[in-house]
């Protein structure tokens, strides 16, 4: 397994970028970046957002394919607006082209806006540091030479990055039906909290990094 920092992604092959986009859409289909579509993710999100420092993180690669990622933003829930505002002209071009490829984006975005207007979760996170983390379920049984599963490798390496960036608190989400992920988060010291959003299929995840437990990998 290779692990690269997100800001080195532009040096990687198109296949790694494409498989990262595929994994993001598959694991976070209802996120705003995925709602904008594949072209947005390829040409804007994993390009301008990375270059401008609005997102950071790690990419996990096996056989020239992305099999996991952890992405953080230190700009809270406003990072999308900030990233777009900072590259408005390019965003307009990307957005128009994305609409040509998939006109249904408009309907999806409208639903996103309605859902988020009164989101308890968004109000709670505010400008705090925000995390998204996922692995390819087809590779979930992969183990390294020490016998550690990919899920543990992803979390441990992400904790190392948090320490490097002096992050002390972080928020995220986990699907309510993803029992194995919930148990894994709890084993590291994360708090998994039932949120109040009526249409939300996720639990809030919160941790103060001083309370984290990690393994020597």
Q: What pLDDT, in 10s, does the model give residues 163-194? A: 888 888 888 878 788 888 888 888 888 888 77
Question: Which phi and psi (to 5°) does residue 149 adopt?
Answer: -70, 160
- Quick one: CA torsion of 119, 175, 213, 149, rounded to 10 degrees? -150
- E strands, the chain, are 2-5, 56-62, 65-73, 130-135, 169-175, 191-193, 202-208
Q: Residues 12-53: pLDDT tens digits?
A: 888 899 999 999 999 888 888 999 999 999 999 999 999 999
Per the CB < 8 A criterion, the answer to whether 142 and 67 are in contact is yes
Parallel/antiparallel/unpaired status of strands 169-175 and 191-193? unpaired
Q: Residues 100-109: pLDDT tens digits?
A: 999 999 888 8
Other beta carbons within 10 angstroms of residue 107's beta carbon come to 10
Residue 124: the pLDDT is 54
DSSP tag of 186: H
Q: Which residues contact 33 (CB under 8 A, 6 or more apart)?
A: 24, 40, 41, 45, 80
Per the CB < 8 A criterion, the answer to whether 169 and 206 are in contact is yes
Pairwise pLDDT comparison (6 vs 11), residue with the higher score: 6
Three-class secondary structure of residue 172 per DSSP: strand
* CATH number, domain 2-211: 3.40.630.30
CA distance 91 to 83: 9
Q: Which residues contact 17 (CB under 8 A, 6 or more apart)?
A: 9, 42, 46
Check whether 209 has a pLDDT greater than 70: no
Residue 140: the pLDDT is 82
Residue 114: the pLDDT is 62
Residue 210 banded pLDDT, cuts 50, 70, 90: low
Q: Residues 54-105: pLDDT tens digits?
A: 999 999 999 899 999 999 998 887 888 899 999 999 999 999 999 999 999 9
- Structural domain boundaries of the chain? 2-211
Q: Is 99 exposed, middle or buried (0-12, 13-18, 19+ CB in 10 A)?
A: middle
């Amino acid at each position: 397994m290779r692990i690269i920092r997100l800001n080195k992604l532009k040096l990687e092959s198109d296949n790694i970028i494409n498989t990262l986009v595929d994994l993001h859409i598959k694991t976070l289909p209802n996120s705003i970046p995925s709602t904008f579509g594949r072209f947005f993710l390829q040409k804007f999100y994993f390009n301008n957002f990375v270059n401008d420092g609005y997102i950071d993180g790690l990419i996990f690669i096996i056989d020239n394919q992305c099999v996991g990622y952890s992405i953080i933003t230190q700009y809270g829930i406003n990072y999308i607006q900030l990233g777009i505002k900072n590259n408005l002209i390019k965003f307009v071009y990307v957005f128009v082209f994305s609409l040509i490829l998939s006109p249904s984006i408009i309907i999806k975005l409208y639903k996103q806006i309605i859902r988020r207007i009164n989101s308890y979760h968004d109000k709670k996170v505010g400008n705090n540091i925000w995390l998204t983390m996922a692995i390819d379920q087809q590779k979930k049984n992969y183990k390294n030479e020490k016998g550690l599963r990919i899920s543990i490798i992803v979390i441990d390496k992400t904790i190392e990055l948090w320490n490097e960036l002096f992050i002390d608190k972080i928020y995220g989400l986990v699907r309510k039906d993803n029992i194995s992920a919930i148990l894994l988060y709890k084993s590291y010291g994360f708090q998994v909290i039932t949120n109040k959003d009526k249409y939300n299929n996720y639990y809030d995840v919160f941790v103060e990094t001083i309370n984290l437990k990690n393994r020597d990998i």
